Amino acid sequence: MSRTSRKREHVEHALTTGQSGTHGLSDVKFVHNCLPDLAMEQTDMSTCIGGLALSSPIVVNAMTGGASETYSINQSLGIIARETGLALAVGSQMAAIRDSSLVETYRIARREHPHGILFGNLGAEATPEMARRAVEMIEADGLQIHLNVMQELIMPEGERDFSGALRRIEAIVQAVDVPVIVKEVGFGISRETACKLTDCGVAAIDIGGRGGTNFAQIENMRRAQPFAVLNEWGISTAASLLEVATLEVRPDIMATGGIQTGLDTARCLALGASCVGMAGVFLRYAVDGRTEEAIEYVNNLHEELSVIMTALGAPTIAALQRVPLVITGDTYHWAEQRGIN
């Protein structure tokens, strides 16, 4: 199976499976404040991730590039991000590192979003030289390195040797002159892993929790003999956020994994994230070229978030990160057994 056909299949299966898991964010409750002492127009959603200033805490997260159809997807995503002021990540650039005729399927995102924040993306198998080329390819402001061990293991033609990844990440951090964000793709990041990444000097961690696009399910659809028991594998978005956000020393956090609403965005920010990533939710709009609808969707997300910030008396993302929360259900039990408080 070529890398290009695999990319087509990932898009097709992501559209079919959708986002059906439990991200645990409904376990996170806000404490209503009926004296917020704030006007809605005072709310300011600007934030920072790994030293990069973002005008919105919503990031269109990494999806694709590398196959001819993905050109128009990245073009639509570039337009959506430009018109709404969102940061945007392209999908893994390894295809274009190996075959330069595919570069345009990624570069189109930069052409459509010339002044925006753009993240490059590679896997942890990348060398420092590949990382430099990925950044240069799209004039990236930051570089994401994805960790997707369980996806690879279920993928019929996937990688089976994961040794040396941390060492390579450390070398990439040293080699590139943009912030490096290490991300999961939907199985979550634990505090133990986050500590190792912190020691490597990564600028940010995208916890990429379970509960959104499910790459166990997607790869199982591509297998003759599916490992269906692994479809629920991983740390939920809420639990993973608690794992990493409560560390005394840690980099900035991006929260991804099933986020679709302003309320879930607010919950992630209140748990300590600096921004949220959304991938699957933008895929359908982009595949169908429904950019106007996607822009309306983002405007609505911003308004919803602003309403919640006002109701909580939190004029900024930093203030939202300090509002009181009550954690219930599975997420509460997870935190208790892991000694997180």
Q: Which residues are annotated as a binding site for FMN?
A: 62-64, 92, 121, 183, 213, 279-280
Q: Binders of ligand FNR: how many residues, by CB under 6 A?
A: 28
Residues 178-197 that bind ligand FNR (CB under 6 A): 183, 185-186
Per CB under 6 A, 151 contacts ligand FNR: no
Distance from CA of residue 121 to its chain's centroid? Answer: 11
Residue 77, classified by CB atoms within 10 Å of its CB into exposed (0-12), middle (13-18) or buried (19+), is buried
Query: Of residues 50, 91, 120, 188, which one binds ligand FNR by CB under 6 A?
Result: 91
Q: CA-CA distance, 317 to 176, in Å (whole number)? A: 29
Measured from the CB atom, the residue of 64 and 74 that comes closer to ligand FNR is 64
Per CB under 6 A, 222 contacts ligand FNR: no
Per CB under 6 A, 257 contacts ligand FNR: yes
Per CB under 6 A, 236 contacts ligand FNR: no
Measured from the CB atom, the residue of 74 and 331 that comes closer to ligand FNR is 74
Q: CA-CA distance, 228 to 217, in Å (whole number)? A: 7
Per CB under 6 A, 310 contacts ligand FNR: no
Residues 103-122 that bind ligand FNR (CB under 6 A): 121
Query: Of residues 212, 234, 262, 315, which one binds ligand FNR by CB under 6 A?
Result: 212
Per-position DSSP letters for 10-52, written without gaps between them: HHHHHHHH-B-S--SGGGEEE---S-----GGG-B--EEETTE
- DSSP code, position 100: G
Q: CA-CA distance, 121 to 77, in Å (whole number)? A: 15
CB of 15: closest distance to ligand FNR in angstroms?
A: 8
Per CB under 6 A, 210 contacts ligand FNR: no
Measured from the CB atom, the residue of 63 and 309 that comes closer to ligand FNR is 63
Q: In a 3-state reduction of DSSP, which class is residue 138? A: helix
Per CB under 6 A, 213 contacts ligand FNR: yes
User: Buried (b) or exposed (e) across 270-284, using 16+ Cβ within 10 A?
Assistant: bbbbbbbbbbbbbbe
Binding-site residue ranges for substrate: 6-7, 151
- Note whether 96 and 12 are within 8 A (CB): no
CA-nearest of 100, 214, 112 to 90 is: 112
The residue with tokens 């337009």 is 79
Per CB under 6 A, 256 contacts ligand FNR: yes
CB of 124: closest distance to ligand FNR in angstroms?
A: 10
The residues binding ligand FNR (CB under 6 A) are 10-11, 14, 19, 61-64, 91-92, 121, 144, 146, 183, 185-186, 208, 212-213, 256-259, 278-281, 283
